[in-house]
Amino acid sequence: MKIPDKTHKQITLDHGSGGSASSELIESLFLEYLTDPVLNRMEDAAVLNVRGKKLAFSTDSFVVDPIFFPGGSIGELAINGTINDLAMQGARPVCLSLGLIIEEGLGFKDLERIIRDIAHACRKAEVPVVTGDTKVVPRGKADRIFINTSGIGIVEEGTDISPARIRKGDAILLSGSVADHGITILTSREGLEFQGKLQSDTCALHKMVQGILGNLLQSDSISALHALRDPTRGGLATTLSELARSSSACMEIFEKEIPIAAPVRAACELMGLDPLYIANEGKFIAIAEEQYAESIIDVMRSFPEGQNSIIIGKVTDNYPGRVVVHTGSGGSRLAEPLTGEPLPRIC
Amino acid sequence: MKIPDKTHKQITLDHGSGGSASSELIESLFLEYLTDPVLNRMEDAAVLNVRGKKLAFSTDSFVVDPIFFPGGSIGELAINGTINDLAMQGARPVCLSLGLIIEEGLGFKDLERIIRDIAHACRKAEVPVVTGDTKVVPRGKADRIFINTSGIGIVEEGTDISPARIRKGDAILLSGSVADHGITILTSREGLEFQGKLQSDTCALHKMVQGILGNLLQSDSISALHALRDPTRGGLATTLSELARSSSACMEIFEKEIPIAAPVRAACELMGLDPLYIANEGKFIAIAEEQYAESIIDVMRSFPEGQNSIIIGKVTDNYPGRVVVHTGSGGSRLAEPLTGEPLPRIC
């Protein structure tokens, strides 16, 4: 067996960052032992054929700290997060599972509030929880509550969304402002206060994605949508790096086009954090044929959660497998995927 | 909202026991908010119609302590446990998800051993992991590793397994000895040593169930199999109580028929534990029309993991909703579902 880094004999927070240490662990350990044609694709959700139907299947565990924060809670995050993983394969989510690991001593009122948030998020998304499991561990053996959700979605025939389809000339679209979730969690955890209203962007994205797909289908151009990805852990820069790497294309983005809320920008500057590396929980990147980009943006903007959608760049062949950020001042830099873990337990 | 017990304002270990405190929590909180026709059925796995196909969907989190024990590890338990939840709906499992929550500092060697056990259990069961997620939490915020697995299975047309189908006169079948898993965990946790070889019974049961269904199908009597359930947390007595309660039938079992391995019996006697309440991870109860019971037992015995299968009792209408245990001495007693939590973190 290849140990990811022989100088590290223990799991560190970096291995859960969603950045390069995570990828190394997954590739050198999990894929080494669990090799499977579907798993090996390493998408946010597996897409598999079950009796002639294409199903998407995804899982995500949520360990966010704090469990309640401006704009949401671990409950909403758990529902929206797995729905979004399914949506990023172009799937229509049909049902979810809910697995709770609770630390002995969690207050009933807190648990009730979380379950109410889960129920609210399910109703809003129109995706039900159909099966569940609850474990309780002794005090000190977990941190209040951890939630796993898994989900099943249906992928319509003709939908083929995969980084492998990314081509030179494609436009890079973003559904709104970045870094809201990560900065909200960080500042509420540390008890920092910033001018303006910081709040998590947690929301379900499947209706917007279905809107795009429905619109493209009408004009018989569904194949124009090449890739979708939600920039969660590691943020926009890490997600684009992964897409660049798996497509061997170059992602060129224009920093000044990327929407960032004023209080988020202020918080990032004060803390010395780059908003392109901060987690989002209600945004996605779409990569599509350039000639369809404007009409896709129009559809995205027709949804409240996509009203700030914008084209942020294009796919080229200048630096294959890399991300180029054109800065406001006219310069440019290469963006690497996240390596360290600046923000543990962000989701 | 109805708080399950107003004198308890906090979650206790009992709420994760699989016994009556768990049921109360689920019914008064989860089903109150998350009401859904499939969830409300409260089966080990949800069975739902997806585009005209019957799918089973299940989730389970594993928090067992210790993570390695005689006969298995948390890895095998996680794979076999979810496969068994699907199998208990008569489903053929097709794929699994794997969600890891790792405590910072877990040794790579331990993680590798767990992943190897997962891979081994998957290969043996012929059910792959197709999607996964890894989170790492800081030292002291979890206990080494927690694993969630969810799974999808296919339920063939004509398969209708549900406690609602239990009828007076049915036979109660058990696939082998009880209490092996729980006693193994307890003694290895406490560092106790007993004469004889104690080991967990963790194994996947779907092939045995498919064998039974295939055999019944051949004789056009698939409807003879009424209910299946694996007696995990809470053990045989709690599981039978649940079946009695949901079918309003009386489950009468003969204590002397129930296989218990000699070292397990000795350990139970020494520790004052009733083996009927101790968890199993590789056994199931089948409730079937009496005239088919012997042929079902024959099929079960043809599998290595079912070689000690036996008829342990029958369904009557003597005490509707209750379990009657006929003791060796000719007396009888009513068995209540588990209320306290004698063995936390058994799975």
Condensed to tens digits (0 to 9), the pLDDT of residues B9-49 reads 899 998 987 778 888 899 889 999 998 988 888 888 999 99
Confidence of residue B256 (pLDDT cuts 50, 70, 90): very high
> Which chain A residues in 227-256 lie under 8 Å from chain B, judged by CB atoms?
none
A255 to chain B, closest Cα gap in Å: 30
Instruction: Answer for the pair A238, A18: CB distance below 8 angstroms, yes or no.
Output: yes
Q: Whose structure tokens read 């009386």?
A: B250
B6 pLDDT exceeds 70?
no
Residues contacting A25, CB < 8 A, separation 6+? A4, A11, A15, B134
Q: Are residues A168 and A257 in the same domain?
A: yes
Residue B221, CA distances (Å) to A175, B54, B170 in order: 56, 20, 14
Q: Are residues A170 and A150 in the same domain?
A: no
Provide the residue type at A203 as one letter: C
Segment A262-316, tens digit of pLDDT: 999 999 999 999 999 999 999 999 999 999 999 999 999 999 999 999 999 999 9
Confidence of residue B8 (pLDDT cuts 50, 70, 90): low
Segment B120-165, tens digit of pLDDT: 999 999 999 999 999 999 999 999 999 999 999 999 988 999 999 9
**pTM, 2 dp:** 0.95
Domain count, chain A: 2
Q: What count of other Cβ atoms lies within 10 Å of the Cβ of residue A339?
A: 12
From B133, B155, B177, give the residue that closes a domain: B155
Is residue A200 one of the residues assigned to a domain?
yes
Q: Are residues A212 and A278 in the same domain?
A: yes
Helix (H, G, I), strand (E, B) or coil at A251: strand
Q: Are residues B127 and B214 in the same domain?
A: no
Region A102-130: mean pLDDT is 97
Give the whole-angstrom CA distance, residue B263 versus residue B183: 9
Tell me which residue range forms the domain holding A232: 163-335
Q: What is the DSSP string of A98-137?
A: EEEEEETT-BHHHHHHHHHHHHHHHHHHT--EEEEEEEEE
Q: Do A58 and B97 touch (CB under 8 A)?
A: yes
Q: Are residues B230 and B211 in the same domain?
A: yes
B344 pLDDT exceeds 90?
no
Give the whole-angstrom CA distance, residue B230 versus residue B45: 12
Q: What is the CATH number of the domain that holds B68?
A: 3.30.1330.10
Touching check for B334 and chain A: CB below 8 Å?
Answer: no
Q: What is the CATH number of the domain that holds A328?
A: 3.90.650.10
Q: Are residues B190 and B276 in the same domain?
A: yes
- For residue A149, list its beta bridge partners: A60, A98
Q: What is the DSSP string of A210-221?
A: HHHHHHHHHTT-
Q: ipTM, 2 decimals?
A: 0.94
Is residue B29 one of the residues assigned to a domain?
no
Q: Across all residues in chain A, what is the average pLDDT?
A: 93
> Which chain A residues in 1-60 lie under 8 Å from chain B, judged by CB atoms?
1, 3-4, 8-17, 22, 25-26, 29-30, 33-34, 36, 38-39, 43, 45-46, 48, 50-51, 53, 55, 57-60
Provide the residue type at A74 as one letter: I
Encode A91-121: b = buried (16+ Cβ within 10 Å), e = exposed: bbbbbbbbbbbbbbebebebbeebbbbbbeb
Q: Are residues A144 and A208 in the same domain?
A: no
Is residue A231 one of the residues assigned to a domain?
yes
Q: Are residues A126 and A193 in the same domain?
A: no
Segment B259-301, tens digit of pLDDT: 999 999 999 999 999 999 999 999 999 999 999 999 999 999 9
Percent of chain A with pLDDT over 90: 81
Taking contacts as CB-CB distances below 8 angstroms, the residues of chain B near A15 are: 102, 134, 136
Q: Are residues A318 and A261 in the same domain?
A: yes
- For residue B102, list its beta bridge partners: B136, B145
Is residue A2 one of the residues assigned to a domain?
no
Touching check for A71 and chain B: CB below 8 Å?
Answer: no
Confidence of residue A1 (pLDDT cuts 50, 70, 90): very low
Instruction: Answer for the pair B128, B96: CB distance below 8 angstroms, yes or no.
Output: yes
Taking contacts as CB-CB distances below 8 angstroms, the residues of chain A near B33 are: 112, 115-116, 118-119
Closest CA to A63 of A81, A40, A51: A81
Touching check for B336 and chain A: CB below 8 Å?
Answer: no
Q: Are residues A96 and A73 in the same domain?
A: yes
Instruction: Tell which wins on pLDDT, A20 or A235.
Output: A235
Q: Are residues B289 and B171 in the same domain?
A: yes
B1 pLDDT exceeds 50?
no
Segment A3-49, tens digit of pLDDT: 455 445 899 998 987 778 888 899 889 999 998 998 988 888 999 99
B217 pLDDT exceeds 60?
yes
Is residue B60 one of the residues assigned to a domain?
yes
